[in-house]
Amino acid sequence: MLLGAALAAVIATGCGPGDEEAVPAPDYAKKLAGSPPPLADLHAESDELLSGGVDAFNGQLAELKGFPVGVNVWASWCVPCRNEFPLFQSASARMGRNVAFLGVNSNDDEDAAATFLSTHSVPYPSFSDPDQSIAKAVGASHGIPATAFYNADGEQTIVKHGEFRDQAELDQYIRQYATGSGSS
């Protein structure tokens, strides 16, 4: 009975996915001004859901050779994904002139994903991945969220499964596994 009352309270207060308020994004235009052309091209596609599957995704990675890359695999229905999105907003605003960021919206409804991005803006595109083929290609085989890191030579260095706990953890992964400037 107590569990039923608690569940009714959650439903009545609208605590389901999509009911939260928008997360304010940093001023990406100001923070990312002067980015090198390949990164500026990504920023121009902010919040877009790109099609093309694994081939298009791999083509994008090839175009980013010379830059470290972080690829976040997420879905709008995934609570841990939603929880870590502000961390990616912050990291991409601070590091996006030197580090490329990409999203992979996996196993999700495209309308729900677009709605989520309209209220949780990031300065990079996400590849639509309804069949999880891109997620599997990057090694996100243990569910989402997952984040793959690539060094500037285009070599994948690690896949982190699960939610980043805080900004310091995400920043350390970027430094250590993407830019190669962090300590262990």
Domain boundaries defined on the chain: 22-179
pLDDT digits (tens, 9 = 90+) for 142-170: 899 999 999 999 999 999 999 999 999 99
Q: Would you say residue 23 has pLDDT above 80?
A: no
What is the length of the chain?
Answer: 184
- The count of other CB atoms within 10 Å of the CB of residue 139 is 14
pLDDT at residue 130, as a whole number: 95
Q: Would you say residue 22 has pLDDT above 50?
A: yes
pLDDT at residue 2, as a whole number: 38
The burial of 16, by beta-carbon neighbours within 10 Å (0-12 exposed, 13-18 middle, 19 or more buried), is given as exposed
Mean pLDDT score, 165-184: 90
CATH assignment, 22-179: 3.40.30.10
pLDDT at residue 181, as a whole number: 83
pLDDT digits (tens, 9 = 90+) for 103-141: 999 999 999 999 999 999 999 999 999 999 999 999 998
Higher pLDDT, 14 or 176: 176
pLDDT at residue 7, as a whole number: 31
> CA–CA separation, 123 vs 135, rounded Å?
20
> What are the helix and strand counts (H, E) for the chain?
8, 6
pLDDT at residue 182, as a whole number: 67
Of the pLDDT bands very low, low, confident and very high (cuts 50, 70, 90), residue 25 is confident
pLDDT at residue 142, as a whole number: 86
Q: Would you say residue 176 has pLDDT above 80?
A: yes
pTM of the model: 0.86
